[in-house]
Amino acid sequence: MADDGDEGWIQRCEIIPYFRNKRTFCQGVELFVYSEMEKAEKPKPLKCPCCGELRPESECCVFISQIAHDVPNKYYGTLDGDIIGNLYWLDAQKGKVDWACDNCLKQYQALRGKTKRQLFCGTAPHFAYFDKRTICRDCGMSFIFSKEQQVHYYEKLVFWVQAERVRCDLCQSLKKTRNQLSHLLANPDYNNLEQVKEVIAIRIVLKQYRQAKHFLAVAKRNQVTESISYLIFELLKKQIAEAELTDNSAER
């Protein structure tokens, strides 16, 4: 890239505004060309989204090296082909990028993102992960989307980078359970006792006792095989009754 090293172009990019309307290529590097040079105000330190502190460039070395080497085609420059800045640096100034200062990374308040593992990426990748507090869409409680979970989602499961988590752990697993239930109920096999037990167990987890009893009754009626004993049904019936009895929140 720039011959004068990272520091050179980062400093120069501070004083030049950028315009996204024109694009060109210079030695295979995509450049966003600005039409007019203006002097902007003094370089501002970046606000670290993890600790919230204002950090000068000297305390953003990891981020600077990440945007320079990990994603090397996001520069903008002059018509002559001089590279003068990195788009992610500008995005970070606007608070639109997940990154972290050197201090947060050193203290493991943030984990460094591996941008090459984030395959589905519309805008900026995650340059760093830090715990994020969010409100759960289902229960309305606040929960933490931890940095470790984020690494797992975006780099192991390779989820879309812009996808944010919207449910807490409990609601997430309840949703999974509900999906499992509707899958089972789509085509229930009442002669498959394991399946009957599974449906009952899920209904109990979801505190749907009335539906559990109803399903058991239907299953009993639709049973054709002799081998399946009356005892198992009695046992399941007892299970539902007990769960309902010990559940303080259940409607009586």
* Residues in touch with Zn ion (CB under 5 A): 48, 50-51, 101, 104, 136, 138-139, 168, 171
Specify the residue, 128 or 196, whose C-beta has the smaller distance to Zn ion.
128
Specify the residue, 51 or 184, whose C-beta has the smaller distance to Zn ion.
51
Specify the residue, 68 or 168, whose C-beta has the smaller distance to Zn ion.
168
- Write down the least CB distance from residue 133 to Zn ion, Å: 13
Q: Which residues of 174-209 are buried (b: 16+ CB within 10 A; e: fewer)?
A: beeeeeebeebeeeeebeebebbeebbbbbbeeebb
- Write down the least CB distance from residue 208 to Zn ion, Å: 18
Specify the residue, 33 or 62, whose C-beta has the smaller distance to Zn ion.
62
- Write down the least CB distance from residue 180 to Zn ion, Å: 18
- Write down the least CB distance from residue 25 to Zn ion, Å: 35
- Write down the least CB distance from residue 145 to Zn ion, Å: 12
- Judge contact between 240 and 200, C-beta under 8 A: yes
- Write down the least CB distance from residue 139 to Zn ion, Å: 3
Specify the residue, 139 or 217, whose C-beta has the smaller distance to Zn ion.
139
- Write down the least CB distance from residue 15 to Zn ion, Å: 25
Specify the residue, 43 or 45, whose C-beta has the smaller distance to Zn ion.
45
Specify the residue, 26 or 174, whose C-beta has the smaller distance to Zn ion.
174
**What is the sign of the dihedral through the CA atoms of 110, 114, 120 and 121?**
positive
Q: How many CB atoms lie within 10 A of CB 129?
A: 25
